Amino acid sequence: MRKLIVAGNWKMNKTNTEAVKTVSELKELVKDVKNVEVVVGVPFTALSDVAKELKDSNVKVAAENMHWEEKGAFTGEISPLMLKDINVEYVILGHSERREYFGETNEIVNKKVKSALAHDLKPILCVGEQLEDRESGNTEKVVEDHVVGGLKDLTKEDMLNVVVAYEPVWAIGTGKTATPAQAEEVHKFIRGLIAKLYDEETANEITIQYGGSMKPANAEELISQKNIDGGLVGGASLIPEDFSKIVKSA
């Protein structure tokens, strides 16, 4: 059985005070969940207090980005050592908003993925096509570039700690969800790609989440697809009741 992981991505939302209140509600709502790893990706300013609030709960904490270096002259950046020190376990990397607005290339994302693993943080590598890629028949090519580029130089052992999130960019924050069949097709493609890059065993073990307007009403059908192992949830993760419903439908 592959690990099911449902992770929230709050993006640039919630003050520290709001974040702590949100997770204090969330941890109660999901305290009996055993079959799903629950993760919240929160802004840097809230990570420390959120991690303290979630200590002894079954909810794990993710950062939404990080720099690959441990320290140095990188004004405004946050390092893996800083994240480890405050008990962060996951880090979302290569999100389409980082690729689109902050110029992150596959090469940059790959440096971050390798650094996360070297520091015992679990990367959630986001991959996915834009609408024009889909319309021009280039979905698989773009997804392959993201997967191959993001995972470059990783060993089979490294792969045990990597999560991939397939997020069609046209479905993020738009209310347009990929149909379960559309999502499953790409998830199957990604798993096949990992089998080619590594082997069947690795491909069968890796968690591949779906992200893109996932909500309580569509989560169950998406996550019940054979190759969909949970979700990366933006908007709906901001509301504890909604997020917990998604977790429980997994």
Chain contacts with ligand PEP (rule: CB under 6 A): 9, 11, 167, 172-173, 211-214, 232-236
Contact between 54 and 38 under an 8 Å Cβ cutoff? The reply is: no
Q: β-strands 36-41, 59-63: how paired?
A: parallel
Nearer to ligand PEP, 9 or 202 (CB): 9
Say which residues have a Cβ less than 8 Å from residue 18's Cβ, sequence separation at least 6: none
Neighbours of 100 (CB within 10 A): 11
Catalytic residue selected from 37, 167, 184, 187: 167
Residue 36 C-beta: closest distance to ligand PEP, Å: 17
Active-site residue among 67, 95, 146, 187?
Answer: 95
Is 213 annotated in a binding site? The answer is yes
Give me the least distance between CB of 227 and ligand PEP, in Å please.
Answer: 18
DSSP labels, 35-48: SEEEEEE--HHHHH
Q: Is 173 annotated as a binding residue?
A: yes
| Rounded least distance, CB 85 to ligand PEP, Å | 26
Q: Residue written as tokens 């319309």? A: 135
CB within 8 Å of 84: residues ≥ 6 apart = 119, 120, 121
Identity of residue 89: E
Work out how close the CB of 96 gets to ligand PEP at its nearest, in angstroms, rounded to a whole number. 8
Known binder of ligand: residue 106? no
Those residues with Cβ within 8 angstroms of residue 112's Cβ, 6 or more apart along the chain or in another chain: 65, 66, 67, 68, 91, 93, 94, 123
149 or 234: CB nearest ligand PEP:
234
To ligand PEP, the closest distance from the beta carbon of 69 in angstroms equals: 25
Concerning whether 25 is annotated as a catalytic residue, the answer is: no
Residue closest to ligand PEP when measured from CB atoms: 234
Q: Annotated catalytic, 167?
A: yes
**Closest to ligand PEP by CB, 42 or 198:** 42
Beta strands in the chain (DSSP E): 4-9, 36-41, 59-63, 90-93, 122-127, 163-166, 207-211, 230-233
Whose CA is closest to 214, among 2, 4, 6?
A: 6
224 is annotated as contributing to ligand binding: no
Is residue 175 marked as binding? Answer: no
Residue 68, annotated ligand binder?
A: no
Nearer to ligand PEP, 202 or 231 (CB): 231
Question: How big, in percent rounded to 5, are the helix, strand and coil portions of the chain?
Answer: 50, 15, 35
Please, which residue, 108 or 214, has the CB nearer to ligand PEP?
214
Residues with catalytic function: 95, 167
Q: Residues within the annotated binding site?
A: 9-11, 173, 213, 234-235
Q: Residues within the annotated binding site for substrate?
A: 9-11, 173, 213, 234-235
